[in-house]
Copies of this chain bind each other. A is one copy, B any other.
Amino acid sequence: MTYLRPKFRHPELPKNKLGYSVDKYEGALSTLCAGCGHDSISAGIIQAAFELNIEPHKLAKLSGIGCSSKTPAYFLSNSHGFNSVHGRMPSVATGAAMANRDLTYFGVSGDGDTASIGMGQFVHVVRRNLNMTYIVMNNGCYGLTKGQDSATADRGSKNKSGEVNLFQSIDLASLAIELGATFVAQSFSGDKSQLVPLIKAAMSHPGFAFINVISPCVTFNNNLGSTKSYDFVREHVEATATIDFVPEMKEITANYEKGSSKEVKLHDGSYIQLKKLAEGWDPLDRLSAMNAVQNARAKNEILTGLLYMNPNSVDLHELIETSNKPLNSLKKSDLCPGSEALKAVNAGLR
């Protein structure tokens, strides 16, 4: 989107239960490339928070570094946000969540941020079942540093500089299930009808809720089978050896039925195959979820929908039995044993 996005709103926008209209959930103007999938996801988040009747200030939004990690600035401007360091958002979110169990925690990361530098923290935040929503805006590349392959890039795909990715891609959803995540979903940035309900479900899940969202990068996308047909502008840009030209693009949308498959054409002319889980899918069966994901992967399909959910999720606070009152609200009287107790301690040390 551009800096010129008109701010005009119809005065009679519908309101949610809190009496807020959706603009209460918006953020600053996005500085991402026009047509970037990430902006669509931001829109989905805004919609989900609106529909869920979340008090914006009772939500904390956290991210790492990357185009994707910038997005928290572009939604929920009445929420505190923390754009931390590259790959380490899970730890910051963990600390924040420990400090105050009464807020909703919303994390945004990129595939570089999560699957490369952040892999260790990702694995461990899953293992701890921290009560948060964690979205990866997955574009298979490092957008902000100009298009290098990420660890989720498809093997065989070509990036902007024409290099072929030689490595197998990390399937974050499958990995999360393997690690025992209690909520794992997958979706596509352009499919608002699927995305919004998934985000709402994730935010309602008491534990770690992971959504891997395929989110095409307008500028550096590197999807399998990218056709790279003759294109005057591309040649021009290649010849001058500056990857400085980003044509204006439209958001890619995809709307399709549950149970069906859809081929989606990306900005560079390549296709991805999405397969929406059928109505009758049982997201409570972990082994079958794993199998389905593996099988889809073998067929080069991306399974979308709620893949797995553990209805008996016990989140970190419950596990370690922290007090019901937020720790950051405790007062000296709750926390400090006082001078008398200290005398006893001293006595024990003589």
18 A-B pairs in the complex with CB atoms less than 8 angstroms apart: A116-B120, A116-B124, A117-B120, A119-B119, A119-B123, A123-B123, A123-B170, A127-B167, A127-B170, A128-B167, A166-B319, A166-B320, A168-B180, A170-B179, A175-B178, A178-B178, A287-B294, A291-B291
Name the 3 nearest CB pairs between A and B, nearest first.
Answer: A120-B120, A119-B120, A178-B178
Given contacts A168-B180, A175-B178, 7 further A-B contacts (CB under 8 A): A127-B170, A128-B167, A166-B320, A167-B319, A171-B178, A174-B178, A287-B291
Q: How far is the CA of A244 from the CA of B174 in the complex (A)?
A: 43
Answer whether residue A108 sits at the interface, using C-beta atoms and an 8 A cutoff: no
A residues contacting B by CB (< 8 A) are 116-120, 123-124, 127-128, 151, 166-168, 170-171, 174-175, 178-180, 287, 290-291, 294, 319-320
Q: How far is the CA of A290 from the CA of B120 in the complex (A)?
A: 22
- Within 8 Å CB of A168, what residues of B? 127, 180
Report A44 CB to chain B, min CB distance, Å.
Answer: 28
- Within 8 Å CB of A123, what residues of B? 119, 123, 170
- Within 8 Å CB of A291, what residues of B? 287, 291
Contacting pair A124 B119 (CB below 8 A): yes
Q: How far is the CA of A168 from the CA of B178 in the complex (A)?
A: 11
Report A151 CB to chain B, min CB distance, Å.
Answer: 7
- Within 8 Å CB of A171, what residues of B? 178
Q: Which residue of B lies closest to A177 (CB)?
A: B178
- Within 8 Å CB of A119, what residues of B? 119-120, 123-124
Contacting pair A175 B179 (CB below 8 A): yes
Q: How far is the CA of A196 from the CA of B123 in the complex (A)?
A: 31
- Residue from A118, A171, A178, A294 having most chain B Cβ neighbours under 10 A: A178
Report A304 CB to chain B, min CB distance, Å.
Answer: 20
Q: How far is the CA of A254 from the CA of B195 in the complex (A)?
A: 52
Q: How far is the CA of A175 from the CA of B176 in the complex (A)?
A: 10
Q: How far is the CA of A12 from the CA of B175 in the complex (A)?
A: 52
- Within 8 Å CB of A180, what residues of B? 168
Q: How far is the CA of A124 from the CA of B119 in the complex (A)?
A: 9
Report A171 CB to chain B, min CB distance, Å.
Answer: 8
- Within 8 Å CB of A118, what residues of B? 120
- Within 8 Å CB of A175, what residues of B? 175, 178-179
Report A264 CB to chain B, min CB distance, Å.
Answer: 25
Q: Which residue of B lies closest to A123 (CB)?
A: B119
